[in-house]
Amino acid sequence: MSLLFKGRPQGASDVRIGFAQSVSMFFVSHLRQALGSLGELWRQPAASIMTIAVLGLSITLPSTLYILVKNTEKISAGWEQASEISLFLKSSVSEAQSQQLLTRLGTWPEIDSLTFIPADEALKEFQHLSGLGDAIAYLEANPLPDVVLVTPVEKHATPQAARLLLNKLKEQREVDIGKLDIEWLERLYGLLDVARELVTLIGSLLFIAVVLIIGNTIRLNILNKRDEILVMKLVGATDAFIHRPFLYTGFWYGLLGGLIAWFAVILILWWMDSSIQAFAALYQKDFNITGLTGAALLTMLALSIALGLVGSLISVQRHVREIEPK
């Protein structure tokens, strides 16, 4: 409805059309502007590809790091379950006493299995593995203690639970030293935390850069269309109407950049796969790197589109307002 002239029809809302038609007109006009923006990108392929590539590669780096962190977490999750507690018994403990200990520990619900390694056997194994051979025979007495290897049940295999169990085991009078072999695992976790922080940090910096790049590209688009914007303002276009094609341009940049990032990540993983396989083989581990899951891929695309939209939104808010007919 016209502001100045009561009863004067203004725009489609006042021309008598049905509800369904006005809804469909809304989508038709959006679709037209969306395709129009895509067409603009198509007509300037070199410039568009550069912008899209910058956006895509900027998203590729944090995405790849994210996948590496995720995969490291996955591998280490396998190791965590295997945590094992070594109990070194006092040298004064007799064989009968150690058997008693084993029977007692066998009743504990936290413990899955026990392995007893007598001192003699341990020495033999050491002799065999160390390559010191006969030199060992010159020892007057066996310096090694009896050892009990305790494997906790799955529920008690996490670092904290295993540590509690270790403290309980240390209280047994036969036990001299107890050792939980997860300290290196904790260090790995610390490292992973740092890596995760790095992903966030690098990601944030690159995302800010992307927003600025898109914003600047859209700014140039706006300046190129200065005359057209002036004419549109003269014949009564609202700011929202003028903004829309530029926002769609930002949307397309985001979507296409996100797809490029996706392909780049797949390519990088494919390329790294053979060296990762070789590395995993050293540890006699069968390991397949997992790429982006469906949800992660959608998140990546959504993020990319959001960055494109934010960049163009900032730009149109600032620069379309500056163009006023004089």
Residue pair 251/310 in contact (Cβ under 8 Å)? The answer is no
> By C-beta, is 5 or 271 nearer to another protein?
5
> By C-beta, is 249 or 304 nearer to another protein?
249
For residue 117, list its beta bridge partners: 147
CB of 235 to another protein, least distance (A): 4
d(CA 44, CA 199): 34
> By C-beta, is 136 or 237 nearer to another protein?
237
Residue pair 318/248 in contact (Cβ under 8 Å)? The answer is no
The dihedral of CA 238, 242, 248, 250: what is its sign? negative
CB of 20 to another protein, least distance (A): 12
Instruction: Give the list of residues 6+ apart from residue 9 with CB closer than 8 angstroms, or none.
Output: 1, 2, 15
CB of 32 to another protein, least distance (A): 9
Query: What's at 169, amino acid-wise?
Result: L
> By C-beta, is 192 or 237 nearer to another protein?
237
> By C-beta, is 40 or 174 nearer to another protein?
40
CB of 266 to another protein, least distance (A): 40
What burial class does residue 6 get, using C-beta atoms within 10 Å of its C-beta: 0-12 exposed, 13-18 middle, 19+ buried?
exposed
> By C-beta, is 32 or 104 nearer to another protein?
32
Can you give the binding site for another protein, defined by CB under 8 A?
2-5, 8, 10-13, 15, 17, 21, 25-26, 29, 227-228, 230-239, 241, 324-326
CB of 249 to another protein, least distance (A): 17
Residue pair 113/151 in contact (Cβ under 8 Å)? The answer is yes
CB of 228 to another protein, least distance (A): 6
d(CA 218, CA 213): 9
CB of 11 to another protein, least distance (A): 4
How does DSSP assign 11-69, residue by residue? STTTS---HHHHHHHHHHHHHHHHHHHHHHHHHSHHHHHHHHHHHHHHHHHHHHHHHHH
Residue pair 119/142 in contact (Cβ under 8 Å)? The answer is yes
H helix or E strand, kind and range, residue 148 = strand 147-152
Distances (CA, A) of 24 to 17, 27, 56, 112, 165: 11, 5, 34, 66, 67
CB of 37 to another protein, least distance (A): 15
> By C-beta, is 9 or 106 nearer to another protein?
9
> By C-beta, is 245 or 254 nearer to another protein?
245
Helices (H), 131-182: 159-170
